[in-house]
Amino acid sequence: MRLYKCWICLCLCMCLCLCLVSNGEKDPLSCNIYEGEWVWDDSYPLYDSANCPHLRSEFDCSKYGRPDHFYLKYRWQPSKCNLPRFDGKEFLTKLKGKQIMFVGDSVSLNQWQSLICLLHSSVPQTQILDEVEVDKQLYNYTFPEYQVSLFVFHSTHLVDIEEEKIGRVLKLDSIKSGSIWKNMDILVFNTWLWWYRTGPKQPWDYIQIGDKILKDMDRMEAFRIGLTTWANWVDAEVDTNKTKVLFQGISPQHYNGIEWNEPGVKNCSKETRPINGSTYSAGLPKASYVVEDVLKNITKAVHLLNITTLSQLRKDAHPSSYNVFKAMDCTHWCVAGLTDTWNQLLSVQVTNWK
């Protein structure tokens, strides 16, 4: 009889374990957290942007009159596990004494702003020190109680742009800012937004590869060469036993409705809901394949924060005209909003880092 009872208990335990797995109670590091869909969640958003005193006006969609709030109510649900709800106090506690730096263009600034708001909402009484360094290229917010510093370093291409006699030169094989980056505990890199810019918005006049000076070249090939220079820098200069390195996947834009099966739509201005399901009809942007190819050849440990597809599904999450400039912006993202999910995904990677 005692043996029979033990057998019953064992069966119940096994059933409970199976139920937990089937319900997604699985370690998020053991599944692909980047595959899934957006689901409505009444408990969202994770914070009220009106209570974030550090939020820049170009991302504050609520303040600048966005009338709908649907975009705030969606949670990313991975297909085969659950994504832990962001816990700012746990984040700061686990990373006590660490320095985190986002390196890249304004999309990096966008994500950095989100992380500051997430953390502030978790510890609203905690003092935050802010400072601007290196000619407004480097910003830093520090949580002194936890000795955690969050930096953002503005670099449109990661490789150098230098002023010379002939003009501004994009040097595809040169990185001089790396001495600042490599001393961080966590590095999150991003670049792409500026590689295809032309005309007045192009931030360089010439391209240099070694001793060769070019007026222009295929932009995707230039991107590949520049990104390879960054990859070689990581391999040569970063001790990944001390510094965790992540590269953020390509952040999509929504200016062409054909990509989401709405021909004739030219921007994101009337989009209020995400795309259903887990796939984007246009597929990945070409730049994503370049990123994947380059990362495959890095010998050091670099994690791809693979936010591209899940962000493609969020045609509703951009500021559109609800920003301080009143300009149509389907490139950046509202805060609160999608970038909070990027930081949830980031938290999974960095707070479980051994």
Domain boundaries, the chain: 37-156+249-351
Q: Would you state the pLDDT for residue 10?
A: 43
Eight-class DSSP state of 111 = H
For the question of residue 293 being annotated catalytic, the response is no
Cα separation, 93 vs 91, whole angstroms: 6
Under 8 Å between Cβ of 32 and 309: no
Q: Would you state the pLDDT for residue 354?
A: 62
Under 8 Å between Cβ of 69 and 147: no
- Residue in the block written with tokens 């984007």: 280
Cα separation, 71 vs 91, whole angstroms: 25
For the chain, residues with pLDDT lower than 70 are: 1-26, 134, 354
Q: Would you state the pLDDT for residue 12?
A: 44
Q: Would you state the pLDDT for residue 22?
A: 40
Q: Would you state the pLDDT for residue 3?
A: 44
Q: Convert the pLDDT of each residue in 41-85 to its tens digit.
A: 999 999 999 999 889 999 999 999 999 999 999 999 999 999 999
Active-site annotation holder among 60, 105, 329, 340? 329
Under 8 Å between Cβ of 53 and 328: no
What length does the chain have? Answer: 354
Cα separation, 107 vs 339, whole angstroms: 9
Active-site annotation holder among 160, 332, 340, 347? 332
For the question of residue 54 being annotated catalytic, the response is no
pTM: 0.91
Looking at the chain, the number of H-run helices and the number of E-run strands are: 8, 13
Q: Would you state the pLDDT for residue 25?
A: 54
Cα separation, 150 vs 137, whole angstroms: 14
- Beta strands 244-248 and 186-189 are parallel
Active-site annotation holder among 106, 149, 251, 321? 106
Q: Would you state the pLDDT for residue 23?
A: 46
Helix (H, G, I), strand (E, B) or coil at 278: coil
For the question of residue 106 being annotated catalytic, the response is yes
Q: Would you state the pLDDT for residue 156?
A: 97
Cα separation, 292 vs 2, whole angstroms: 57
- Residue in the block written with tokens 């920003």: 323
Q: Would you state the pLDDT for residue 26?
A: 64
